[in-house]
Amino acid sequence: MTSQPYVFPDVSSEHQPPAPVKQKWPLSVWILPDGIFALIATLILSVIVMIAYIAVQVGGGANLQELFGPNGTSIPSGLLFGLLVAQNLGFVGIVLLRTRLIRKLPLQWLGLTAPQPLRLIGWGIIFGILFVSLNFLIGLIFSYFGINSDQADLFQMEQGDTLGQTLMFLGAVVAAPIGEELFFRGYAFKALRENSSRRTIAVIAIQLLVVIGLPLLGLLAFSAYTWSDVSLLVVSLIAALGLSALVPSTRVRAYLISSAFFAVVHLSGINQGAIALLAATFIGGLCLAGAYDRTGSILPSIIAHAINNSVAFGQLIYCVNAYGSVQNCG
């Protein structure tokens, strides 16, 4: 019997450390860039909607002066409804692109789930009443000091225009809550809940400086904004981020930062009473985040948001029909 030489097994590939997995940036640092992408998508969709609307109206025999008024500043309610829908489609599209196509996350991650619909509807009604009550209280406080927001002036409606008022109501009560809640609660709040470390907050602060702070300072140089506008926007965001960095709880950070973004976005087009609107929408954002955080579904926050908007627009429509304009309503 001849002995065979022992052959040592090849262990060169065994017990080797796995190849390092490339770490992705947390979703929380993509909130602001995705907000910018959503605004770009909204702009593109708005241009398409406007061109289509003008083409249909002009093709039907209308002229531009009839559509937009003698000064070209009046926006028809039908067009405004289309722009509202386009705006929210832009935000929804970007959220789905980031979470579903790029990160391959399930819809449940966004809170798009309703395991107990009646329970969720109940919570939505509760938080909706809370939202309206807080909004009313904050409005009373600022009105006492003579500070009132002119946000209602953004929504131009004509007395007796039932179709236009119905379209505006649907846009504010259906389209806006769905789009905004999916972005600010389903995406932003959830991403911040998962990762809002001090490093993440520092990255967001740098993004704010580059994307918002520097352009605003540039506009200030050309007198497009006042110092009060710049300070209100920048200070409110930096304050929220700074406070968040001091708070040890990731959950509280998510509440503060997502609500601050939600509030600042609503300042677009406001000429007076911005601080009152900022306070109301920030507190409202906390309330809506609470509805989502309490249930794990964005259905309650959508319902609560819709209740608040229905009360606000119901009052707006009443003022227009009864007094001719919001300004005459007192």
pLDDT tens string 256-296 = 989 988 998 887 777 777 888 889 999 999 999 999 999 99
**What mean pLDDT comes out for the span 190-207?**
87
pLDDT at 223: 56
Name the more confident of 17 and 140: 140
pLDDT at 79: 84
pLDDT at 227: 52
What confidence category does residue 148 fall into, taking pLDDT thresholds of 50, 70 and 90? Answer: confident
Name the more confident of 21 and 22: 22
pLDDT at 123: 97
What confidence category does residue 54 fall into, taking pLDDT thresholds of 50, 70 and 90? Answer: confident
258 in Cβ contact with 188 (< 8 Å): yes
The rounded distance, in Å, linking the Cα atoms of 327 and 117 is 40
pLDDT at 12: 54
Name the more confident of 263 and 164: 263
Phi, psi of 240 (to 5 degrees): -65, -40
Is the pLDDT at 21 greater than 80, yes or no? no
Q: Which are the contacts of 133, defined by CB distance < 8 A and separation ≥ 6?
A: none
pLDDT at 150: 76
pLDDT at 281: 94
Look up the pTM and report it: 0.84
284 in Cβ contact with 304 (< 8 Å): no
**What mean pLDDT comes out for the span 87-93?**
93
pLDDT at 118: 96
Q: Which are the contacts of 300, defined by CB distance < 8 A and separation ≥ 6?
A: 120, 121, 123, 124, 127, 291, 292, 294
Name the more confident of 14 and 66: 66
pLDDT at 2: 58
pLDDT at 28: 93
Nearest Cα residue to 308 out of 163, 151, 159, 164:
151
Burial of 269 (0-12, 13-18, 19+ CB in 10 A): exposed
Nearest Cα residue to 320 out of 311, 307, 309, 329:
329
The rounded distance, in Å, linking the Cα atoms of 191 and 188 is 5
**DSSP code at position 147:** -
Is the pLDDT at 312 greater than 60, yes or no? yes
pLDDT at 23: 61
Is the pLDDT at 171 greater than 60, yes or no? yes
* pLDDT tens readout for residues 218-259: 665 555 555 555 556 666 666 667 777 777 788 998 999 899
Is the pLDDT at 68 greater than 90, yes or no? no
CA 156 to chain centre: 22
Describe the crossing of helices 198-208 and 31-59 by its angle, rounded to 10 degrees. Answer: 40
Instruction: Please report which helix (H) or strand (E) contains residue 285, including its range.
Output: helix 274-295
Place of tokens 């939202």: 131
Q: Give exposure, 154-175, as e/b (b: 16+ Cβ within 10 Å).
A: ebbbeeebeebbebbbebbbbb
Per-residue tokens: 220: 């200030």
The rounded distance, in Å, linking the Cα atoms of 233 and 264 is 7
**What mean pLDDT comes out for the span 74-88?**
83
pLDDT at 20: 52
